[in-house]
Amino acid sequence: MANQVPLVSYLVLNNEPHLVAHECVRCGARYFDRRNACAACFGTEFRDADVATEGEVRAFTIVSRAAPGIEVPFVSAVVDCDGTSVRANIINTPPDPEHVSLGMKVRLATYSMGKDENGTEAIGFGFEPAA
């Protein structure tokens, strides 16, 4: 795994890949970006909190027009992972309204984005149907 790097720093790559949030110590608000302070309570202390790897699609769209270089159509969604909302693509299923629906159960999945010139492989994530 030494030659792997996650697409974003909040994706943890180990035997059970998962997302990790910065959780406000004072109020429990969760964030995925580097924080200066908490937008909810203004606290400045955070701890790492593992995010559930299974969830439910709360909102989605099937994007047909995007910037050059982005493969379309793809499904962008908000997944409710046991109370923590996550933005992600829905993958490993056809991107159409017959295969993606509101309330569908999904689970985290990772995929290879390829290797850079140093041989390091980037790993992306999405959510796939939890059939």
CB contact at 8 A, 21 and 30 = yes
CA angle 10, 87, 6 (to 5 degrees): 30
* Cβ-based neighbours of 2, under 8 Å, separated by 6 or more: none
**Shortest CB 53 distance to another protein, Å:** 16
Indicate whether 51 belongs to the interface with another protein (CB under 8 A).
Answer: no
Q: Does residue number 64 form part of the binding site for another protein (CB under 8 A)? A: yes
Binding test (CB under 8 A) with another protein, winner from 47, 87, 99, 105: 87
Among 12, 20, 49, 62, binds another protein (CB under 8 A): 62
Q: Check: CB of residue 89 under 8 Å from CB of residue 126.
A: yes
CA distance linking residue 17 with residue 88, whole number of Å:
15
Question: Tokens 């790559």 correspond to what residue?
Answer: 13
In sequence order, what are the beta bridge partners of 30? 23
Does 120 contact another protein by CB under 8 A?
yes
Task: Establish if 10 lies at the interface with another protein (CB under 8 A).
Answer: yes
Q: Does 52 bind another protein (CB under 8 A)?
A: no
Among 2, 14, 34, 131, binds another protein (CB under 8 A): 34
| Interface with another protein (CB under 8 A) | 5-10, 29-34, 39-40, 57-71, 73-74, 76-78, 83-89, 97, 102-103, 113, 116-118, 120-122, 124-125
